[in-house]
Amino acid sequence: MSFIDFLSASPTSYHASAEIARLLSSGGFTEQAEADPWDATPGGHYVRREGAIIAYILPAEKPSGMRFHIVGTHTDSPGFKLKPHPAHTAAGWSQVGMEVYGGPLLNSWLDREFGLAGRVVLRSGEERLVATDPWLRIPQLAPHLDRSVNQSLHLDQQNHLMPVYALAGSGVDLMAAVAGAAGCDPDEIAGHDLFSYITQPPALFGAAREFLASGRLDNLSSVYPAVMALLATTPTPQTVPVVACFDHEEVGSQTRTGAAGPFLEDILARIGWGLALSQDEVCQVRARSWVVSSDAGHSVHPNYVSMFDPDEQPLMGSGPMLKVNAGQRYATDGPGEALWLAACERAGVPCQTFVSNNSVSCGTTIGPLTATRLGIPTVDIGLPIMSMHSAREMCAARDLEHLTRALTAFLAQ
């Protein structure tokens, strides 16, 4: 499966975790159900928890000097989430009530057709994944009616971002249409987690077709290389490679499937118990371990160069970047920097550094959360992209191969 195919098949975190599971199963990995006894047989395994998934390769026996090498990513992206009872009418229009999820560039969703995707939960308890055709659109007000729009666009999240999907009285019921897409009756649906997703397919563009435009590059541009790296990894006898794809990073990660929750901690503990490690040995293993937190970062923007540090301006196409922040918005420190640079050198890929302009705040990642939760040294890295949090972001296609090779070198170290 190519990255473009993976993007197209992963409109939500739930779809992404299902696609990752399929890729891992095709690569010989075995699914581990959390409620079942632990399977400690050597080889690849994975655990799915809703929109999150953790995969790992177990050794044949407890190795001397054992350590975890963990790559952390996230499967969710900013956008809109369908309200529980979304039906709304106004001025002859049928509209859809949606909440803002995360911090999307709101204007990027205007005048763009999009669909609904996610999961529906039936009264029987069965969950079904669904992805609709382009049903929705948020029409922008014409400049004739707002002469200030090109100087100061203001979007009220309640009043200006409610999509239209039909004319009132047309007889189209949104949840009935969702039920049809899910292959069930409307009254079978007891709950849902449905999100907006861009139905326009990913595309290579540019005079040399070197750029990739798509929704959800933040952070599937880390998820796919991490999974491909794990599938390509032959670990050293001491290293247990792990890839953790969390959900809900865009809303703070404080959920049972987020990086601030217990998911990864539980899996690492069960790996240790499965290898007959004592509690003290588990602590020793953690002290020898490393986490690479991989999340999309900012390429220098030619129209806004002043927003970047004058000496640290990572560029798309020039390899993954190390993220550094004195305020620990990123978890990178000196030892982490040395570890990542060594991995890039072994992989033969270029590496860049991102440091914020002192007058411009930066985002954060799962790195500090993971380091705080587990006490494992962590380094933050990622691909440089542009239009971050837009409905349609862009990256350099060759950076995906760069990142895959570097992560493979780290996991096999």
231-250 confidence digits (pLDDT tens):
999 999 999 999 999 999 99
CA distance 95 to 136: 9
Mean pLDDT of 38-53: 98
Residue 196 DSSP code: E
The answer to whether domain 3-77+215-411 and domain 79-198 are alike in fold is no
- 130 φ, ψ (degrees, to nearest 5): -145, 145
Residue 101 — pLDDT band, cuts 50, 70, 90? Answer: very high
Amino acid identity at 384:
P
Is a pLDDT exceeding 80 seen at residue 307? yes
Is a pLDDT exceeding 90 seen at residue 301? yes
Q: Which residue in the block uniquely carries the two structure tokens 């809900």?
A: 248
Encoding tokens for residue 131?
């992805």
Mean pLDDT of 19-40: 98
Pair 246, 47: CB distance under 8 Å: no
Residue 257 — pLDDT band, cuts 50, 70, 90? Answer: very high
DSSP symbols for 10-56:
-SSHHHHHHHHHHHHHHTT-EE--TTSPP---SEEEEEEETTEEEEE
144 CB burial (10 A radius; 0-12, 13-18, 19+): exposed
Confidence at residue 334, expressed as pLDDT on a 0 to 100 scale: 97
Is a pLDDT exceeding 90 seen at residue 413? no
Confidence at residue 398, expressed as pLDDT on a 0 to 100 scale: 97
Residue 5 — pLDDT band, cuts 50, 70, 90? Answer: very high
Nearest to 409 by CA among 237, 291, 234: 234
CA distance 126 to 49: 15
Q: Which residue in the block uniquely carries the two structure tokens 């992206």?
A: 77
Pair 373, 260: CB distance under 8 Å: yes
3-state secondary structure of 91: coil
Q: Which residue in the block uniquely carries the two structure tokens 């760069």?
A: 402
Q: Going by C-beta distance under 8 Å and a sequence separation of 6 or more, which residues neighbour residue 268?
A: 68, 242, 282, 286, 374
- Residue-wise pLDDT tens digits, 342-369: 999 999 999 999 999 999 989 899 999 9
3-state secondary structure of 164: strand
H helices, E strands: number in the chain? 9, 20
Pair 371, 286: CB distance under 8 Å: no
Is a pLDDT exceeding 80 seen at residue 1? no
Nearest to 316 by CA among 227, 393, 229, 258: 393
- The pTM (predicted TM-score) of the whole model is 0.97
Instruction: Indicate the fold that domain 79-198 takes in CATH.
Output: Aminopeptidase i, Domain 2 (2.30.250)
CA distance 293 to 222: 9
Confidence at residue 191, expressed as pLDDT on a 0 to 100 scale: 97
Domain boundaries, the chain: 3-77+215-411, 79-198
Confidence at residue 33, expressed as pLDDT on a 0 to 100 scale: 98
Encoding tokens for residue 365?
């990642």
The CATH homologous superfamily for domain 3-77+215-411 is: Zn peptidases (3.40.630.10)
Amino acid identity at 133:
D
Is a pLDDT exceeding 80 seen at residue 113? yes
Distances, alpha carbon 337 to alpha carbons 255, 290, 296, 329, in Å: 29, 12, 17, 15
Encoding tokens for residue 393?
């972001």
Confidence at residue 61, expressed as pLDDT on a 0 to 100 scale: 86
Residue 391 DSSP code: S
